[in-house]
Amino acid sequence: MGSGVEAEFPNILNLESEDSPLNLRGELLAEIRPTIPGALHVRIVAENEDMFTDSTGRLFQNEASAQSGGRGSIEEEEVVIPEMIVGISKDGAYERYPNDANGMHQAFAYFDERMRAVQGEPGNMDSVPLTNILPPQDGWLYTELGRTASIGPPAIGSARTGTHSIHYSIGVPLSTSYNFLKYLNSNTRRHTGNQQQLNDARRNLNSALGFADAVAARFAHQKFFGMSAPPYIAQYAARYANIPDRHVQEVRGAAAVLYSLGAAAAHTSTYPGNAKDNAIALVRHNPNSLFGQLSPDARQWLTTNARNIIAGFDSTYSRDHPNQVRDYNQNMHYSQNMHYRSKLADQPSNVRLAIDDTFTVGDLISSGLVENYGKRTELKDTFTSTVVPIDNNGRIPLIVFEARYFGERNVSAEDFRTNHSALSTMAAEAQHNAAALMHPNEHVLRTVNGENQYLASQLALHPPVSGQSSRTHTHGSTQLYPPSTRRHQPGRTRGR
């Protein structure tokens, strides 16, 4: 996958089209095509944005700026702004792409400079042809819609320099995605247009990480000891979940991703706008695609334990948002449409999805937990994200995350370079660590064996409850992966 970027700029576009701004979202205006396969590709597309106008026709970025600086009546208006999409740059040694990140940084700096060159007072509706700002001699190829487009200055209240919003798309292995999400969570911006929504998104990812530890610990107990996890395992969840075993870490990453998807979808009843805004990081694959990346044993275990995992989601999410179901049901109750009023929920997992309400949050999560789930749900049923395939172009399969709140909201070209370089470094480290899990060395084996010996001692202190199997792992000792049996290490499982 490498990495890419989507940067929304605050300049106002005027398009000669009878379609609404919402219907124009994603329409290609201009592009610089790659000269060789896999090289950098730069596109400019239309993005819609809700803004506000006053009686004089001036445009304001948000309602607060309109109320404080506008004249007369204030009305909401949907407008079109440009979004630059750039990809692909190489992040790690395990990817096969010809270009590095310098081309992406240069493209961003170029577009940033061209947008700042647009003349005019903020908020006025004057504009110049887009072809004057992005001239064809610079390599731009225009669509019919882009060729007739014009562009003006930003709205009042927008940052005059820097981007309006920037999202980074980056690929990491599933087995090391947990630590990557942890890094994103500690490096999210601290302020945004909707502070409470950002705080809730951060809380949801915090909970996703804890939820993932609990799920991975139970899977590890089953994998290493051949029995269901006892109640005391909560005391040692972090130790189980941290065992450097590829299959355990893949389950851990998948659980974090599924919780994040479910929480973002459930939160649309509180913040009914774009469900993506409820997530610090959003995966760009359907849940069943992630499920297919797991080992056969992991898939079987998740399928068997799916009901308990969903219950864990409900209890965790309800702890964080105790009034969520109540608020959702009130929204449904006051709806004038009886179709919606009949869809009340008793648990967060029964909240209906925003785009296709024949599916629930539980269906979305279960699509990544259950083999051949009957009500398989996809991202398009609740998010407006573009779904991409798992990237198998390199030596390690990569899943793609869209980091939505990394760094500050408005950034300069230099800030962008710094942020993207930091993410690329983390992605490269994630690939290196994933390779170690696939082909564990003696240090990794000693770590796993040491952890297992400790956990086995705890199991001896807490015998299985009645009805649980006392069978241990297949080696019959506390050595999970004895060095003499290297060819049978889990990192080399056949048939994946």
pLDDT band at residue 472 using 50, 70 and 90 as cut-offs: very low
Helices 246-266 and 413-438 pack at an angle, to 10 degrees, of: 140
Q: Looking at 122, 138, 163, which one is the last position of a domain?
A: 163
When mean pLDDT is compared across 70-79, 153-162, 211-220, 345-354, the lowest value belongs to 153-162
469 in a structural domain: no
Closest to 207 (Cα-Cα) out of 349, 345, 319: 319
Residue scoring higher pLDDT (393 or 317)? 317
Query: Per-residue pLDDT averaged across 33-48, rounded?
Result: 77
Whether 294 has a pLDDT exceeding 80, the answer reads: yes
Place of tokens 């882009």: 146
89 SS3 class = strand
Q: What is the DSSP string of 399-460?
A: EEEEESSBS-SS--HHHHHHHHHHHHHHHHHHHHHHHHHHS--HHHHHHHHHHHHHHHHHHH
Q: Residue 44: CB partners within 8 Å, gap ≥ 6?
A: 28, 29, 30, 31, 82, 83, 84, 85, 111, 134, 146
Whether 485 has a pLDDT exceeding 50, the answer reads: no
Residue scoring higher pLDDT (221 or 161)? 221
DSSP-derived letter for residue 303 is H
Place of tokens 């539980």: 362
How many other β-carbons are positioned within 10 Å of the β-carbon of residue 132? 12
Do 346 and 401 sit in the same domain of this protein?
A: yes
Q: Looking at 438, 465, 480, which one is the last position of a domain?
A: 438
pLDDT band at residue 159 using 50, 70 and 90 as cut-offs: low
Residue type, 173: P
pLDDT band at residue 210 using 50, 70 and 90 as cut-offs: very high
Do 94 and 232 sit in the same domain of this protein?
A: no
Whether 94 has a pLDDT exceeding 50, the answer reads: no
332 SS3 class = helix
Q: Residue 222: CB partners within 8 Å, gap ≥ 6?
A: 228, 229, 301
pLDDT of residue 38: 54
Do 139 and 39 sit in the same domain of this protein?
A: yes
Whether 128 has a pLDDT exceeding 50, the answer reads: yes
pLDDT band at residue 320 using 50, 70 and 90 as cut-offs: confident
Whether 469 has a pLDDT exceeding 50, the answer reads: no
Q: Which of 20-29, 236-245, 279-288 has the highest mean pLDDT?
A: 279-288
388 in a structural domain: yes
Do 147 and 179 sit in the same domain of this protein?
A: no
Whether 194 has a pLDDT exceeding 60, the answer reads: yes
Whether 341 has a pLDDT exceeding 90, the answer reads: no
315 in a structural domain: yes
H/E segment holding residue 198: helix 195-225
Do 189 and 287 sit in the same domain of this protein?
A: yes
pLDDT of residue 1: 42
pLDDT of residue 214: 94
pLDDT of residue 490: 34
Do 243 and 305 sit in the same domain of this protein?
A: yes
Give CA torsion, residues 221, 227, 229, 230, to 10 deg.
Answer: -130
Do 148 and 290 sit in the same domain of this protein?
A: no
pLDDT of residue 201: 83
Whether 475 has a pLDDT exceeding 70, the answer reads: no
pLDDT band at residue 481 using 50, 70 and 90 as cut-offs: very low
pLDDT of residue 493: 32
Q: What's the number of domains the chain is made of? A: 2
447 in a structural domain: no
Query: Per-residue pLDDT averaged across 241-256, rounded?
Result: 94
471 in a structural domain: no
pLDDT band at residue 373 using 50, 70 and 90 as cut-offs: very high
DSSP-derived letter for residue 176 is G
Adjacent-strand bridge partners of 43: 31, 85
Do 240 and 151 sit in the same domain of this protein?
A: no
Q: Residue 476: CB partners within 8 Å, gap ≥ 6?
A: none
Query: Per-residue pLDDT averaged across 61-66, rounded?
Result: 86
pLDDT band at residue 489 using 50, 70 and 90 as cut-offs: very low
Do 414 and 281 sit in the same domain of this protein?
A: yes
Do 206 and 318 sit in the same domain of this protein?
A: yes
Whether 161 has a pLDDT exceeding 60, the answer reads: no
Do 172 and 147 sit in the same domain of this protein?
A: no
pLDDT of residue 167: 83
70 in a structural domain: yes
pLDDT of residue 326: 78
H/E segment holding residue 318: helix 296-320
455 in a structural domain: no
Side-chain-side CA neighbours of 456 within 13 Å: the count stands at 18
Query: Per-residue pLDDT averaged across 445-457, rounded?
Result: 79
Bridge-based pairing state of the strands 59-60 and 11-14? unpaired
pLDDT of residue 285: 93
pLDDT of residue 252: 97
480 in a structural domain: no
462 SS3 class = coil
pLDDT of residue 464: 57
Predicted TM-score (pTM) of the model is 0.81
336 SS3 class = coil
Residues 314, 347: Cα–Cα separation, whole Å: 6
Q: Measured on CA atoms in the order 123, 144, 25, 187, is the torsion positive or negative?
A: negative
Phi-psi region of 139 (alpha: psi -120 to 50; beta: other; left: phi over 0): left
When mean pLDDT is compared across 45-59, 266-280, 345-359, the lowest value belongs to 266-280
- What's the whole-number average pLDDT of the chain? 81
Query: Per-residue pLDDT averaged across 210-218, rounded?
Result: 94
Percent of the chain predicted with pLDDT > 90: 34
Side-chain-side CA neighbours of 103 within 13 Å: the count stands at 22
Domain range holding 307? 167-438
How many other β-carbons are positioned within 10 Å of the β-carbon of residue 256? 28
Q: Are 207 and 263 in contact (CB under 8 A)?
A: yes
Query: Per-residue pLDDT averaged across 432-442, rounded?
Result: 87
Residues 204, 160: Cα–Cα separation, whole Å: 32
Q: Looking at 438, 465, 488, which one is the last position of a domain?
A: 438
Phi-psi region of 226 (alpha: psi -120 to 50; beta: other; left: phi over 0): left
Residues 53, 171: Cα–Cα separation, whole Å: 40
The structure tokens listed for 50 are: 């809700």
Do 241 and 277 sit in the same domain of this protein?
A: yes
